[in-house]
Amino acid sequence: MEKTMRIKYHSDEIEKLEYIAGKSDWIDLRVAENVTLQKGEFRLISMGISVQVPDGYEMLLAPRSSTFKNFGLIQTNSLGIIDESYCGDHDIIRMPVYATRDTELHVNDRICQFRIFEHQPHIVFEEVDALGNQDRGGFGSTGKN
């Protein structure tokens, strides 16, 4: 089912949002400014857009798999969450980054990606003495003998 997301571009230089055919249903965001960062520096990098996420949905913002290798950047909040209340003309999407080495970003570099998800349903928590299921071996045990 298609959903409509309204987008305001704050730069004529960045490429418009689009799916990369046959690759993924995540959508890449592009840097809207030239940025030079020194090792150890923090910065909010503008993606040059404001959006109105469809009602009942939220946007998850994550680094692209190549962002650390190509730019030495780590997204400081690990995963950004943008809900439908962050929808004003000046609510510009930014990626909070920490530079692990000196690096440069240029307009249209792709450093993060997003997808939208429906809000989580309301969950009722039921306390029990035991779950009654077989253990898998604990955290980090997958693939170990």
Pairing of strands 73-75, 94-99: antiparallel
Closest CA to 10 of 96, 113, 89, 98: 89
Structure tokens at 119: 């809000």
Q: Calculate the alpha carbon distances from 9 to 48, 82, 125, 143 in Å.
A: 6, 17, 42, 45
Which residue numbers are catalytic? 83
Start-to-end CA span in the chain (Å): 43
Cα 48 from Cα 67, distance rounded (Å): 18
Length of the chain (residues): 145
